[in-house]
C-alpha cells in the first residue's frame, strides 16, 4: 500500500456448499468470467499452484477496466491473498483476501476483504472506487453463492465446444473480418444490428440484435477484448439470452505452414430454471445443451465461413 489513507471494506455470504467447493470456484481465475459477473477476461501469465499472476479485464461503474494482479493461494487454509501490481485508476493501490470458513460438512462462509488507497484521498475518486468495490463485490458473492450451491449438478450446466475452418488466405484478413463486428449486419445473416463503441483501443462494447428464426429476435450485449498481434478476440456477453446464465468465448486465427485455421470457442453456463420457458414443457438439461450447441455452433460456423470467403476472395481479386 502507498502512504495514502487505507480504506477497508468487508463482504461476506453464507453458502450451502462445502468449503472445498467454494474455494475451488475462487481459486481458478481462468473460470471467473463464467462465475463472476464483472469479470470479462483473465489472461494468466504465471501459475505454479501457489502464486498466480494474471491480467484481468472487468466492468466497473459502467466502464471496462484492466489491471495486473498477483495472488497467493493457501489451499489448506482456504485463503487467497491478492494485490494489484499495476492498479487501475483511480485506485492508487488495491489488495485484499478471500477466505472460506467451513460451517459443518455442507456449509461455509465466504468472506472478501478489500484494502485500497486513492491518491490524496480525492473525494470524487474515492467515491468511484467505493461504488465499484461495493457493487462488484456484492455481485461476485451472490453469483459465487448461487453457483456453489448447485455444485452437484454444475457439470451438466457447463458446456464448452468449438467450430473451426481452414482458410487459404492471409491470417490478417480473417482476423480483420472477425474484428470488424460493426460491419456484420448485411453480411452475417443472423446479425440484424451491431452498435459498437471502442472508447479504449482494442476494447469493443457491443450491443447486437440477432435473429435465430421467425419471431425469434433478441438483443445481447458483450465486451470484446482484441489482441491483434496474437490474432485473438476474447468476448463475454454482459446481457445474455434467457437460457444462458453466462457465455464467454474466443475467436482465434492460427497460421501454419499450409494455411490458416480460424477457430470459434464457446463456454456456457446454462440457466436451469429457464429451460422449459425457452424450450417448452418437459424439456430438460440435455435438450438445452443440444439446443445451445446447435444454435451457437451454427452461428459461429456461418461467421467463420464468411471470414474464410472474405480472405480468399480478396486474394483472388488482388
Residue with cell 463486428: 181
All structural domains of the chain, each given as residue ranges with its CATH number in brackets, are: 7-148 (3.30.530.20), 155-317 (3.30.530.20)
Mean pLDDT of the 219-242 span: 97
pLDDT at 316 over 90: no
Residue 3's pLDDT is 58
In order of 28, 74, 279, the CA distances from 49 in angstroms are 10, 9, 41
pLDDT at 232 over 70: yes
Counting other chains too, the contacts that 158-161 makes at CB distance below 8 Å and 24 or more residues apart are 158/34, 158/267, 158/268, 158/269, 158/270, 159/266, 159/267, 159/268, 159/270, 159/289, 159/292, 159/293, 160/265, 160/266, 160/267, 160/268, 161/265, 161/266, 161/293, 161/296, 161/297
Q: Kindly state the helix (H) or strand (E) to which residue 197 belongs, with its residue range.
A: strand 191-200
Give the model's confidence band at 216: pLDDT under 50 very low, under 70 low, under 90 confident, else very high. confident
Average pLDDT, the chain: 95
Question: Apex CA 30: angle with CA 11 and CA 43, to 5°?
Answer: 110
Residue 144's pLDDT is 97
Q: How many CB atoms lie within 10 A of CB 208?
A: 23
Predicted confidence (pLDDT) per residue in 261-305, tens digit: 999 999 999 999 999 999 999 999 999 999 999 999 999 999 999
How far apart (Å, rounded) are the C-alpha atoms in residues 98 and 159? 27
Residue 312's pLDDT is 94
Residue 37 neighbours by CB under 8 Å, 6+ apart: 139, 140, 143, 246
Residue 152's pLDDT is 95
pLDDT at 317 over 60: no
Amino acid at each position: 500500500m502507498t502512504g495514502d489513507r487505507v480504506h477497508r471494506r468487508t463482504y461476506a455470504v453464507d453458502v450451502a456448499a462445502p468449503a472445498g467447493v467454494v474455494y475451488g470456484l475462487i481459486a481458478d481465475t481462468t473460470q471467473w468470467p463464467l462465475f463472476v459477473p464483472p469479470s470479462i477476461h483473465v489472461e494468466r501469465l504465471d501459475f505454479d499452484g501457489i502464486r498466480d499472476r494474471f491480467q484481468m479485464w472487468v466492468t466497473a461503474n459502467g466502464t471496462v477496466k484492466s489491471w495486473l494482479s498477483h495472488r497467493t493461494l493457501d489451499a489448506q487454509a482456504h485463503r487467497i491473498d491478492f494485490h494489484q501490481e499495476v492498479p487501475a485508476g483511480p485506485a492508487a493501490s488495491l489488495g485484499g483476501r478471500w477466505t472460506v470458513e467451513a460451517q459443518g460438512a455442507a456449509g461455509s462462509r465466504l468472506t472478501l476483504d478489500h484494502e485500497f488507497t486513492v491518491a490524496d484521498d480525492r473525494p470524487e475518486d474515492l467515491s468511484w472506487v467505493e461504488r465499484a468495490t461495493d457493487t462488484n463485490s456484492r455481485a461476485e458473492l451472490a453469483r459465487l453463492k448461487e453457483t456453489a450451491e448447485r455444485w452437484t449438478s454444475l457439470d451438466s450446466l457447463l458446456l464448452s465446444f468449438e467450430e473451426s475452418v481452414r482458410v487459404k488466405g492471409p491470417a490478417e484478413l480473417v482476423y480483420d473480418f472477425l474484428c470488424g463486428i460493426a460491419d456484420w449486419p448485411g453480411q452475417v445473416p443472423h446479425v440484424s444490428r451491431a452498435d459498437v463503441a471502442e472508447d479504449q483501443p482494442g476494447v469493443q462494447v457491443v450491443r447486437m440484435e440477432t435473429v435465430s428464426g421467425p419471431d425469434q429476435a433478441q438483443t445481447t450485449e458483450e465486451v470484446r477484448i482484441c489482441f491483434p498481434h496474437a490474432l485473438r478476440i476474447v468476448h463475454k456477453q454482459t446481457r445474455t439470452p434467457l437460457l444462458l446464465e453466462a457465455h464467454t468465448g474466443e475467436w482465434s486465427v492460427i497460421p501454419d505452414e499450409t494455411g490458416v485455421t480460424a477457430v470459434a470457442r464457446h463456454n456456457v453456463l446454462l440457466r436451469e430454471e429457464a429451460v422449459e420457458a425457452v424450450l417448452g414443457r418437459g424439456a430438460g438439461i440435455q435438450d438445452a445443451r443440444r439446443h445451445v450447441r446447435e444454435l451457437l455452433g451454427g452461428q459461429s460456423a456461418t461467421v467463420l465461413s464468411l471470414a474464410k470467403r472474405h480472405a480468399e476472395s480478396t486474394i483472388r481479386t488482388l
